[in-house]
Amino acid sequence: MEGPEALCPDLLRTIDACGDPVFVADERWTILHWNKSAEAAFGRAAADVLGQRCFDVIAGIDDAGREVCRVHCEKWALARRGARIHNFDVRGMPARDKYLNVSILPITDATGKPVALAHLVRNVSRTKRLEQFVREIATDAEDVLTSHVGNGTIHEPSPIHLTSRELEVLDLLAHGAGSSTIAERLGVSPHTVHNHIAVMLNKLGVHSRAEAVAYAFEHHLA
């Protein structure tokens, strides 16, 4: 990707006409385009963010405070594989006091190769808080039912069998943890963590941690 000038002018006009915030980032996570709605939503002019890394600007986190927007984002691994990229929620800047739903649309060249990712952002704070309220009620109701009829919770089977420890490692990887952090969290040695990761990569049929994380998000394992 050479830069913003490589983006199709018609595409840029469409993005600029969108009422929702939209920004475009290349495979180096560099922001190439930032529409007027993004300026209004984030309180930052395009001139201030163009050329910056998207994970530094958005700095999205999940409910547990773990980084969602980070270097080596798994969304690019999904795009390169041609896999569907599911929308996701983050608490983003400027104050991380609002929930944002992000949909990612790959922008491809004439050969179908993804060259940039357009991020469509919506403020879903009200919906998110309502979901949390409903989830709390549902959890309470499930506890009551379980006490009467036993544990009726149904878990979707994993597409590939991973042990509970391998699933723990995969979840930690998906949320940005490195080998040393995983070892500390699980109370094992870094060597053991490397062994778990090697076995897990082999089971999933992937060649890197980024691909494993992409697989986890694609199959709702993280």
pLDDT per position as a tens digit, 127-174: 766 666 666 666 655 555 455 455 555 445 445 788 999 999 998 988
Do 115 and 46 lie in one domain? The reply is yes
Q: DSSP characters for 162-221? A: --HHHHHHHHHHHTT--HHHHHHHHTS-HHHHHHHHHHHHHHHT-SSHHHHHHHHHHTT-
Task: Tell me if the bond preceding 94 is cis, omega within 30° of 0.
Answer: yes
Do 112 and 13 lie in one domain? The reply is yes
Residue 166 sits in a domain of what CATH number? 1.10.10.10
Tell me if the pTM is above 0.75.
Answer: no
Domain-located, residue 139: no
Do 115 and 165 lie in one domain? The reply is no
Domain-located, residue 10: yes
Do 13 and 109 lie in one domain? The reply is yes
CA distance 97 to 17: 27
Number of structural domains found in the chain? 2
Q: Is 160:167 a contact under the CB 8 Å cutoff?
A: no
Domain-located, residue 134: no
CA distance 204 to 105: 25
pLDDT at 155: 47
Do 92 and 186 lie in one domain? The reply is no
pLDDT at 128: 67
Q: What are the beta bridge partners of residue 26?
A: 116
Do 122 and 185 lie in one domain? The reply is no
CA distance 69 to 57: 9
Do 112 and 18 lie in one domain? The reply is yes
Q: How many helices (H) and strands (E) does the chain have?
A: 10, 5
Domain-located, residue 138: no
Which residue, among 42, 43, 109, has the nearest Cα to 69 in the 3D structure? 42
Residue 120 sits in a domain of what CATH number? 3.30.450.20
User: What range defines the domain where residue 206 resides?
Assistant: 151-218
Do 83 and 13 lie in one domain? The reply is yes
Which residue, among 42, 119, 39, has the nearest Cα to 75 in the 3D structure? 119
Domain-located, residue 131: no
pLDDT at 114: 92
Do 120 and 170 lie in one domain? The reply is no
pLDDT at 1: 47
pLDDT at 26: 93
Residues in the chain predicted with pLDDT less than 70, given as ranges, are: 1-6, 94-96, 128-159
Domain-located, residue 40: yes
